[in-house]
Structure formats: C-alpha cells, structure tokens
C-alpha cells in the first residue's frame, strides 16, 4: 500500500497532474483555413488526436464545429492548447473537458 507523506504538496501527490483524455470543442467561422490551424496546435506538440469530427452547421449564422479528442494529455498542456486554439483567427469559442 502506498501512502503520501504529510509534507508532500498536493501537486506532487500520486495522480496529481496525471494524463487524461481531453476533449476540445472548437466553434469557428466555416473558413478553409480553420481546420489546418486547429490541427497544427496538436501536430507541433507531436500529438495525434485519437478522434476528430467536424461539421458545418448551416443557417443564417453558419458555424464550423470541430470536436477533437486527445488521450494521455497532461491537464496543464490541455488547458494551454485550449488557450492557443482560442487565439486562432476565425475561432469564436473553445470548450474543454477532461475525463
């Protein structure tokens, strides 16, 4: 049985900072440049999404919705990628979840 000494900070406890499955929901204008820019955020970190699904929702306010899943991603890295995705041209919103 493993125990954590009482003087160990919570950030160093077993399971802290452990890699998770991260989901990214990207909402953007339906422009051709968006998908390669989104994928670049993962590729330049040597990450291959385990799932990628994109849909253009038609209507008066057409929107490109991209759902990306990446396994074994540290929470800090996932949040950083989400901030980078939010800063991309034509991206309106990014929602993340880890599990």
pLDDT at 17: 59
Local confidence band at 7 (pLDDT 50, 70, 90 cut-offs): very low
Task: Match 């330049």 to its residue by tokens.
Answer: 44
Local confidence band at 19 (pLDDT 50, 70, 90 cut-offs): confident
**Number of Cα atoms under 13 Å in the Cβ half of residue 34:** 21
Homologous superfamily of 19-98: ACT domain (3.30.70.260)
Task: Match 């849909």 to its residue by tokens.
Answer: 55
pLDDT at 59: 84
The predicted-structure confidence for 45-88, as pLDDT tens digits, reads as follows 999 999 999 999 988 889 999 999 999 999 999 999 999 999 99
For residues 85 and 26, what is the distance between their CA atoms, to the nearest angstrom?
8
Q: How many helices, marked H, and strands, marked E, lie in the chain? A: 2, 4
User: For residue 28, with 0-12 CB atoms within 10 Å meaning exposed, 13-18 middle and 19 or more buried, which class applies?
Assistant: buried
> What is the pTM assigned to this prediction?
0.80
What are the boundaries of each domain within the chain?
Answer: 19-98
For residues 98 and 91, what is the distance between their CA atoms, to the nearest angstrom?
21
Closest alpha carbon to 23 in 46, 42, 43, 44: 42
């Amino acid at each position: 049985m493993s125990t954590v000494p009482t003087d160990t900070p919570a950030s160093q406890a077993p399971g802290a900072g452990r890699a998770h499955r991260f989901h990214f929901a990207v909402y953007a204008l339906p422009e051709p440049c968006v998908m390669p820019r989104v994928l670049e955020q993962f590729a330049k970190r040597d990450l291959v999404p385990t799932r990628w699904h994109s849909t253009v929702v038609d209507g008066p306010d057409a929107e490109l919705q991209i759902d990306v899943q990446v396994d074994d991603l540290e929470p800090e890295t996932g949040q950083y990628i989400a901030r980078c995705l939010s800063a991309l041209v034509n991206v309106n919103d990014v929602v993340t979840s880890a599990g």
